[in-house]
């Protein structure tokens, strides 16, 4: 089993919508079948202590 098969969820955490969209498209093509989630801190604010970072296999942070 390779690493890509173990990868299930990626979080893209960035305040730049264009960069988030670019990463969503690129990573979506590179890792088919992996759930991609985006988080905009300008709209959603900083995550509080209840935010479950552990549900993601990879975090892409700005």
Instruction: Give the model confidence (pLDDT) of 6-53 as tens digits.
Output: 899 999 999 999 999 999 999 999 999 999 999 999 999 999 999 999
Quick one: pLDDT at residue 6?
86
**Per-residue pLDDT at 29:** 96
Is 8 part of a structural domain of the chain? yes
pTM for the model stands at 0.86
pLDDT of residue 1: 43
* Per-residue CA distances from 23 to 1, 7, 49 (Å): 25, 16, 26
Tally of structural domains, the chain: 1
Q: Is residue 48 part of a domain?
A: no
**Residue 49 domain-assigned?**
no
Look up the domain containing 35 and give its range. Answer: 3-43+57-61
The separation between the first and the last C-alpha atoms of the chain, rounded to the nearest angstrom, is 30
| Domain contains 11 | yes
pLDDT of 3 strictly over 90: no
Q: Rounded to an integer, what distance in angstroms lies between the CA atom of residue 37 and that of residue 13?
A: 9
23-58 core/surface letters (b: 16 or more CB in 10 A; e: else): beeebeeeeeeeebebbeeeeeeeeeeeeeeeebee
């Amino acid at each position: 089993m390779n690493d890509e098969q173990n990868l299930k969820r990626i979080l893209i955490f960035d305040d730049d919508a264009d960069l988030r969209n670019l990463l969503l498209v690129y990573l979506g093509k590179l890792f088919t079948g992996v759930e991609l989630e985006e988080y905009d801190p300008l709209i959603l604010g900083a995550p509080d202590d209840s935010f479950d970072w552990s549900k993601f296999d990879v975090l892409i942070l700005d």
